[in-house]
Amino acid sequence: MPYTAFGCLTLEQMVERLTKYHPNDNFALVEQAYAFAQKAHEGQVRKSGEPYFTHPVHVASILTELMLDAQTIAAGLLHDTLEDCPGVTMEVLTQQFGGDVAQMVDGVTKLGRLDFSDREEQQAESLRKMILAMGKDIRVVLIKLADRLHNMRTLSFQPKEKQVQVARETLDIYAPIAHRLGVYTIKQEIEDLALRYIDPEGYRDVALKVGQKRVEREAQIQLIIDTLTQKLEEMGLKNFEIAGRPKHLYSIYRKMVLQNRHFDQIYDLIAVRVLVDTIPECYTVLGVVHTLWTQMPNRFKDYISVPKNNMYRSLHTTLVGGRSIPTPFEIQIRTREMHQVAEYGIAAHWNYKEGSNPDGLDTKLYWLRQILDWQSETRDSKEFMDGLRTDLFSEEVFIFTPKGDIINMQRGATPLDFAYRVHSHVGNSCVGAKVNGKLVPLDTELETGDRVEILTSSSSKGPSMDWLNVVKTQQAKAKIRQFFKKELHSENVQKGRDILEHEAKRRGVKLGELTKAEFIEPILKKYTFPDTEALYGAVGYGGLTSAYVISRLMEEQNKTEKSQAPQKPTLPEPSQVMRQGKPTHGIYVEGGAGMLVRFGHCCNPVPGDDIIGYITRGRGVTVHKSDCVNAVTAETERIVDVSWADSEVGTFNASIRITAYDHPSLLGEITVFVTDMGTPVTAASAKMNKNGTCDIHMVIQVNSKEQLRQAVSRLQKRSDVLEAYRSVSQ
């Protein structure tokens, strides 16, 4: 079982603990919120059968253990009332609990009542809302993390598909956020819990291996503690604590799976933590440790002199103990204050009552400001999710300015990213860069310790569109797009219109037909564009992809035309079609057993599609998708009812279109990727674009619409793929 740090507290216990760490806080607010939430959730039950109110109580208990203030605990008790309790509104919460509490509750409330095209879009916009709320009050995300922790603890009561979905979202989004905020106590538990559902066998394997030699490891840990204690006491060090460190199963699993390491090669299975009072004592203990045991090369990390961006500070060293301790082991050394921050992260720093920001908290939340900057320029939900995952997961490098200041950046960043990190004007006027005193290309990947100097020119005309392919950080991309958006408005509008016209033509439709007011108005409203020109401009500077806009316009057109179209005679359901004899190529034809059957190359229907048949003179029956333009405009008297056979009858051709970042082996890699999914490629062609992308058309073989959907979905998740979709026609 994973390490559980938090239990459920009674109201009295919450108030008692709050009294200890915030003696002057508003305890009545917590009591009032408790009573309000208990009444609001009355009669509601969870999947486990427990009263729903147990969930907000658990969430508030976790927030209390994090030593947060009364407002945050009250918001934790109320966090689901807006979403799940009729009659509870922002006005009600503001009136009874104040604006801060109401805003926090609203910040963690999902966007569940709006019109979204799919679940991913809903998830993206709900996360965007939470990120914006975090920018105003960081306590919002601490409530969300507490909420997610308790939901993960009770995930066993959900259906299996939901378990995997929630666990994956937890690892992709919430664990990285907890890491960024330094809340390791929550991060480690939700990671271990998520692993149980994503890879149950892997989880059990690691847990078994950890448990098998537990007695032997505990004996070695005790030997380390006794040896170090004796030596520190001999040196006169008194107020210190030494203890074994709890095992984090997911971190062991990641090293075994991602780094392809054997269990015996994991060096932190035996781990000890030393707590002292001062920083000089940390280095004293480090010196003692290195005299007692042999240090492993390249396994020492000083996070005290160069802290992690999430405020984590500690000394880490890996050692070898000889015959008595044959397995390499890790020792962590830190002050008690550092340990508090390591466990609770930002929660240990936030001083609400004083209204202060201790220890330069603003600088430690720079990653959040970066996300806030670029998300406003990113309209597309998929692009937002990809950017969010990149920013949250990225490792860091530490770069020096010419004056010796340290700037942390994500691994893979270039001098151009560095220029935009310094200031938008520096980036826009950049004409070159020096790294460690030498001129380098702007796409050079920076490494920790590099000293970077940006060369600028007042006569620079600004960034090039090619720079979007050079920079790696979302912040730099957003600032480049912002330049083109402001400086080149008319050019962007014309460029966007041209791009959309090209995409519409490629889909076999005319842009003018799609941009009628009734089709385009829902999209303008969704993205708060004042007019069609603003939409064109967004496409022109890269804020929205042309394929996404045309797809949404076509969806609106189809919905409107279907609602306005005269009612046609109702075709019988597939199960009602007279099935005579054996199917031909998996198709039953009404009253036409044995007839020649072929599939329309214009739409390439596959099992699972709604289909109709069209009698072609001398060529039998041609099967089309029911919404294929050739079927819709066909002569009514030549239409015949057809249906799919109940069982799989072979493979069918399907057309897909892919737009990806171009590189020499792109077509080959995509072809192998698609084939490895069990969907053989029968034809493929590629066309390179001037903007560094490549359009690929493929014909693949599938046995069902669902298999085709899964193939397209997996393509969309590739980092080099901008968009992938089923092609309407060849």
Residues labelled as active-site residues:
83-84
Q: Which two tokens stand for residue 3?
A: 């390490």
Q: Is 25:70 a contact under the CB 8 Å cutoff?
A: yes
Burial 486-501 (b: 16+ CB within 10 A, else e): eebeeebbebbbebbe
User: Which one, of 199, 173, 204, 174, lies nearest residue 186 by Cα?
Assistant: 174
Burial 243-270 (b: 16+ CB within 10 A, else e): ebeebbbbebbebbeeeeeeeeebbbbb
Q: How far apart are CA 334 and CA 315, in angstroms?
A: 6
Q: How far apart are CA 507 and CA 601, in angstroms?
A: 15
Q: How are beta strands 642-644 and 587-589 bridged, if at all?
A: antiparallel
Q: How many residues does the structure list for the chain?
A: 730
Q: How far apart are CA 10 and CA 27, in angstroms?
A: 14
Three-state DSSP class for residue 673: helix
First to last CA, the chain: 54
Torsion of CA 29, 33, 34, 39, to 10 degrees: 150
The secondary structure element, H or E, covering residue 241 is strand 241-244
Dihedral sign computed on CA atoms, order 668, 672, 673, 679: positive
Q: Which two tokens stand for residue 338?
A: 């550092």
Q: Is 183:346 a contact under the CB 8 Å cutoff?
A: yes
Q: Is 228:286 a contact under the CB 8 Å cutoff?
A: no
What letter would DSSP give residue 576? G
Instruction: Please state whether 692 falls in left (phi above 0), alpha (psi between -120 and 50) or beta.
Output: left
User: Which one, of 301, 284, 298, 292, lies nearest residue 320 by Cα?
Assistant: 292
- The β-bridge partners of 699 are 655, 683
Q: How far apart are CA 316 and CA 327, in angstroms?
A: 17
Residue identified by tokens 């960081």 is 138
Three-state DSSP class for residue 351: strand
Q: Is 413:446 a contact under the CB 8 Å cutoff?
A: yes
> What does R_g of the chain's alpha carbons equal in angstroms?
30
Q: Is 500:546 a contact under the CB 8 Å cutoff?
A: yes
Q: How far apart are CA 728 and CA 730, in angstroms?
A: 7
Residue identified by tokens 């919002």 is 140
Q: How far apart are CA 494 and CA 473, in angstroms?
A: 27
Alpha carbon of 225 to those of 220, 230, 299: distances in Å? 9, 9, 20
